[in-house]
Amino acid sequence: MMMGEWGLGVSMRQRPHWNFLLSVPALVLTGALILAAPNWATAQETASIRGVGGIRHILYVTIKSDPNSRVLQRNSDEPITATLTVKTRISAHSQETNFYGDVPATVSDFDPIKGSREQEVWKDAQCHHERGFPKLSVINVDGSITNAQKSLPIAARFRWLGRLLPGDEVMAGKRLASGSDDVGPFIATRTETKQSRLFVDLKLYILPCSLTAAAN
């Protein structure tokens, strides 16, 4: 499933330049705490109007690069592909269901300049009463980014108290505008890495559902 400074492309006229700096060992991507906001009342109001009474969350992820990044530069005819596994820590609790854990999602063979498609990460096990929104944090990113000449390994970690500062530190996640699409109402966050300048969007849908049906 739980997005400007974000663009969809970088300069296509420069020669390939993969300056990840060998001293920067990792790309760290972290999600932000998702908090209740007035715009999210739309989902709850919809559930109330329909008389279904419940909520179900579904989380999606997308990844792309900053258009101003010096890390990813290429000729227009040279492809760049990435395969990254993002691990998201999720804490979601309600009367009917409780979930806490680290959930991996692998996003395969995408162009980081254009960005990946939305991919489902996690969803509630069942319909439940509304008890606020899940807390979400991306804590690990592993994989590689490749072009015709080389492959760059990615092994990113979240910054933890008492441990060495990561070479490529994740910045605080930013709330994006709430909205609604053909799936339903959602909110989203965006996270930026300080040096490698890659971004993760977490998009969390809040879908009305029937508690009666869930109980049966």
Q: Taking the domains of the chain in order of start, what are their residue ranges? A: 38-215
Summarize pLDDT for 20-74 with one digit per residue, the tens. 333 333 433 334 444 433 334 444 444 443 445 899 999 999 999 888 876 666 6
Region label for 182, one of left (φ > 0), alpha (ψ between -120 and 50) or beta (otherwise): alpha
pTM score over 0.75: no
- Give me the pLDDT at residue 161, please: 79
- Give me the pLDDT at residue 172, please: 72
With residue 117 as reference, give the H or E element that holds it: none
